[in-house]
Structure 1
Amino acid sequence: MPSALTPFLAVREAALRLDGTSSDYLPLLELARDKQFVLLGEATHGTADFYRMRAEITQALITDEGFDAVAIEGDWPDAWRVNRYVQGEGDDDSTGAIADFQRFPSWMWRNQEFLLFIEWLREHNAGLPAERRTGVYGLDLYSLYRSAEAVIRYLAPIDPMQAESARQYYAALDHVRDPAAYGYQAATGSRMPATEGAIRQLLQLRSDEAARISRNGLAAMDSHYFAEQNALVVVNAEAYYREMFGRRVNTWNLRDAHMAQTLKSLVEYRQRRGGSGRAVVWAHNSHVGDANATESRLRGEWNLGQLVRRLAGERALLVGFTTYTGYVCAASEWDGEPERKRIVPALPGSWEALFHTTRLDRFFLALGAGASRTLFEAMLERAIGVLYLPQSERASHYFDASIAGQFDALFHLDETDALEPLPTPHNVGS
């Protein structure tokens, strides 16, 4: 494409308008044909359209391309309950399967679109042998205490002595049930971090893996892997909460490094159990897009998309989603109630405003190395997380980014609608 093209003309020439049918995804599926990782983003944590489209794309990747893992920006033990449901295990119905998603913002996974997706996946898996069933897994690290408890629950019936050791290793965590308070006390020296004991427990589980699995097969592999990853969460979450107040480590980097570590481990696990080890990721654009192409690089920050590109090279596909206006489900303050909020039309000088001026409404845009050089220039890009603060729109929600450096492909929807949160249960099952 000629380098003299303006960004407007470059988008007009390359964009493929969406018509609301399954053919909308054919260009993306073609790009995904030889990939091991397809990362599907979202410009907000509360847009129904993004969840619905990611579900439709993921269904096609599973049925047509053989992907067998869906990794979400959710906590490991919460997502494992969903995984058991889609594998046909346990007594949960679909509503029960998402019951453990109670941590703010619960609406990220307690919503109708995600519920419909896991119902579809359970039905899809029903006719397949266990090793070929697609699983759902959490990438995040906030579940410090629940993960510690899960390790102990796993060990108690099969190795009481090691379970007691785990209780002792995690005892430093048990004194304080608030992770933020734990991090503050560890950083200020008023308590010792539990790092050493947590690492010992993780290494012990890893050393026991082969022996436990050889005796009991696939079911043992799954339960042991669940426990081992919970032990990893404890190690990394302990460091995360401690350093949050220590000002020595960028906690964003710790979190995304954990996500990348978990994703790599996950595909290896899927291959060990006889699957393809090809994974679809659902996370925010800020995690999915390559941070090296944004202003985050100036702060020394990296992210999941950047680390996956480094790991997999051309076998990674990073896909962004943007919107110009509409409605979003978001809170006004941390731990606040979800609200249906009007999204202010995108600011002039932003990629979203540029996409709006093309009058294409909804379109797919292939990017990456083949894109016009003008799409590698930096412009504003909007990111709405669990909070949306339109009164401070520019300061709270915009950053500089090269859209073609950040993503390999992008879906733009000019107007979008909000997720409808499902009620949060008061009592959580195990």
Structure 2
Amino acid sequence: MTTGLSNVLKNAAQELPPIDSSDFGAKFDTFGNSRLVLIGDGSHGTSEFYRARAAITKRLIEEHGFTHVAVECDWPDARSIDHYVRQHPRRSQDVPIRVFDHFPRWMWRNAEVQEFVDWLREHNAQLPMNQRTSFNGLDLYSMSASTHAVVEYLDRVDPTLSSAARKRYGCLEPWLNDPHEYGRKSFYEDSAKCEPGVIKMLQQLLSRRVELTSHAENGESFLDAEMNARVVRDSEKYYRAMFHGDKTSWNIRDTHMFNTLSRLLKLKPGSKAVVWAHNSHLGDARGSSMGAKRGELNLGQLCRENFPGEVSVVGCGTHAGTVAAADEWDEPMQVMDIVPSRPDSYERAMHDVGIPSFVVDLRGLRTEAMLQRFIGVIYRPATERWSHYIKTILSDQYDAFVWFDQTKAVEAFETAQPKEALSKGETYPFGV
């Protein structure tokens, strides 16, 4: 099967120039008229995936008017980056915030991301504030930071409502440093005692929208509080669902990411977004065993269903090389060798094409169900077949696929987070 597919792919493949070439991004102009371009990666620790995604995004921003970059990371961290790239007035001018200061740090704390962030700041500096491209987080793991952000905002604009927020979020306080324990306790006690408070807090915040957005803090500060309140509501639900061992927690997370993205698009008529996330979040779940057998949906599926004809999905993959990953959650990052792709996988079919780097437009092709590799922040080479491969139909998942036959690990800032305190001399916004 892979031999026949390799021949099909070879006929359809467009060889790519070096990523640093100005011609690289131009290869993706065919997606410039989309409202949403979703660019996935086959791992969270491969330099070529990050650099290619950045090059495509730069082109989409400069030549096709894209206004948002929405990323698989937490809202508060991305908000700090957003203030930096849009040169937006921020409260703390003295000590920078160390963003992405949690596992897996290398996923966003790397030279490849910093290069794009610095480019976006320079690009935005030439434009009026209302035309600058934003940088936004879609994920929901920031329960602690988000509760504090809501309370701090209300402290400044409405002390009475702030007092209510402290009381409602106080239910979560014992577990803010380890929300997994909240999920565990809720599961074993069959309890959702914190849920009413976090829902009520978001409802009350939204009901006061007109009044709060007229405050001197302005509408952007309200938006930040609103999005953080949404994170708290959905993360509370997510952590409670984690221990049920079914599709529920995954679906809560990807639905949250879709709702956050949709909210961003509604803020600005005519806005267009580039999304960065893992292939498993962006490759339409209906084209894989995720959706067909496990009942999981994902961000790519939800985008296609809700924005028909306006979405382009681009995946990335590799045959072999190195990757930044960990053995287990919260373990230090390692640079690991990637096991060469399996003979019965899409990756092997692409390797057999014999072109080091190419893009294949899948919109006119029909591929059969085969194995596809997904490496996240955890990589287990010893059990790679069962840990990292699932059956998919590539042409149902993506509109295009970008291939790099040999790849290397991202250039991470650190393998384990330094414990020393921040100093004023550290580089904003990454604090490296």
TM-score by length of 1: 0.92
- Is residue 24–residue 56 contact of structure 2 (8 Å, CA) maintained in 1? no
Deviation of 1:199 after TM superposition, in Å, equals 0.9
Structure 1 position 409 matched with structure 2 position 400: yes
C-alpha contact (below 8 Å) 2:140/2:253 kept by paired residues: yes
8 Å Cα contact 1:188/1:246 also seen in 2: no
Structure 2: any 5+ residue segments left out of the alignment?
Answer: 424-428
Q: Give the secondary-structure state (helix, strand or coil) at the position aligned to 1:411.
A: strand
Structure 2 letter corresponding to 1:243: A
Deviations 1:232-253 (A, max 9, x none): 0000000011111245762111
Equivalent position SS for 1:308: helix
| C-alpha distance 378-342 of structure 1, shift in aligned 2 (>3 A) | same
The aligned residue for residue 76 of structure 2 is 77
Asked if 1:283 is matched to 2:277, the reply is yes
Q: 1:425 to 1:87 in 2, by over 3 A?
A: farther
Change (3 A) 1:414 1:248: closer
Partner of 1:233: 231
* TM-score calculated relative to the size of structure 2: 0.91
| CA deviation profile, 1:381-406 (whole Å, cap 9, x unmatched) | 00100011111111111010111111
CA contact (8 A) 2:100 2:109 kept: yes
CA spacing shift, 1:428–1:382, aligned 2, 3 Å: farther
Q: Which is further off, 12-21 or 244-253?
A: 244-253
Distance 2:275 2:339 in 1: 28
Deviation string, structure 1 residues 392-430 (Cα, Å, up to 9, x no partner): 111111010111111001100000110121134544799
* 2:58 paired residue number: 59
Say whether residues 1:339 and 2:334 are aligned partners.
yes
Task: Give the structure 1 partner of residue 124 of structure 2.
Answer: 125
Greater CA deviation, 247-256 or 381-390?
A: 247-256
Give the secondary structure class of the aligned counterpart of 1:317.
strand
Contact 2:26 2:59 (C-alpha < 8 Å) held by counterparts: no
Contact preservation (8 Å) 1:66, 1:278: yes
2:263 pairs with 1:265? yes
CA contact (8 A) 1:193 1:238 kept: no
User: How far apart, in 2, do the equivalents of 1:425 and 1:211 lie?
Assistant: 43
- Amino acid of the structure 1 residue aligned with 2:77: D
1:324 to 2:319 alignment = yes
Partner of 1:362: 357
SS at match of 2:243: helix
Q: In the TM superposition, what is the alpha-carbon distance from 1:215 to its structure 2 partner? A: 5.1
Q: In the alignment, which residue of structure 2 is the partner of 1:173?
A: 172
* Matching of residues 167-246 of structure 1 within 5 Å: 167-177=166-176, 178-189=178-189, 192-214=192-214, 216=216, 220-246=218-244
1:204, distance to aligned residue in structure 2 (A): 1.5
Q: Which runs of 5+ in 1 are unaligned?
A: none
d(CA) in 1 for partners of 2:263, 2:302: 14
Task: Tell me, yes or no, if the aligned pair for 2:157 and 2:212 is still in contact at 8 Å.
Answer: no
Shift of 1:192: 4.5
- The 1:33/1:176 distance shift into structure 2, 3 A limit, reads closer
Matched residue, 2:378: 387
Residues 48-87 of structure 1 show CA distances to partners (whole Å, capped at 9, x for unaligned) of: 1111111111111111111010011101111111011111
Q: Which residue is 2:288 aligned to?
A: 294
Q: Which has the higher helix share?
A: 1
Aligned to 2:426: none
8 Å contact from structure 1 (residues 100, 428) kept in 2? no
1:421 corresponds to: 412
Q: What secondary structure, in the 3-state scheme, does the structure 2 residue paired with 1:318 have?
A: strand
Deviations 1:127-155 (A, max 9, x none): 21111111111110011111111100000
Q: Which amino acid aligns with 2:273?
A: A
Asked whether the equivalents of residues 69 and 273 of structure 2 are also in contact (C-alpha less than 8 Å), the reply is yes
Q: Quick one: percent identity of the two aligned structures?
A: 40
**Is 1:77–1:138's contact at 8 Å kept on the other side of the alignment?**
yes
Q: Match of 2:320, SS?
A: strand
Two-structure CA RMSD over aligned residues (Å):
2.0
In 2, are the aligned partners of 1:243 and 1:249 still within 8 Å (CA)? no
Counterpart of 1:64, as a letter, is E
- Give the deviation of 1:224 after TM superposition: 0.7
The 2-side partners of 1:192 and 1:315 are apart by 38
SS in 1 for 2:358: strand
Counterpart code for 2:300: G
Say which SS state the counterpart of residue 420 (structure 1) adopts.
coil
Alpha-carbon distance in 2 for matches of 1:407, 1:192: 38
Q: Any conservation in 2 of the 1:86–1:122 contact (CA below 8 Å)?
A: yes
SS of the equivalent of 2:413 reads coil
Letter in 1 for 2:187: A
- Per the TM alignment, residue 213 of structure 1 is displaced from its structure 2 partner at its CA by 2.6
Q: Is the 8 A contact 2:38 2:312 kept in 1?
A: yes
Distance (Å, rounded) in 1 between the aligned partners of 2:146 and 2:34: 31
Is residue 193–residue 242 contact of structure 1 (8 Å, CA) maintained in 2? no
SS of 2:172's equivalent in the other structure is: helix
Partners of 2:188 and 2:246 in 1: CA distance: 12
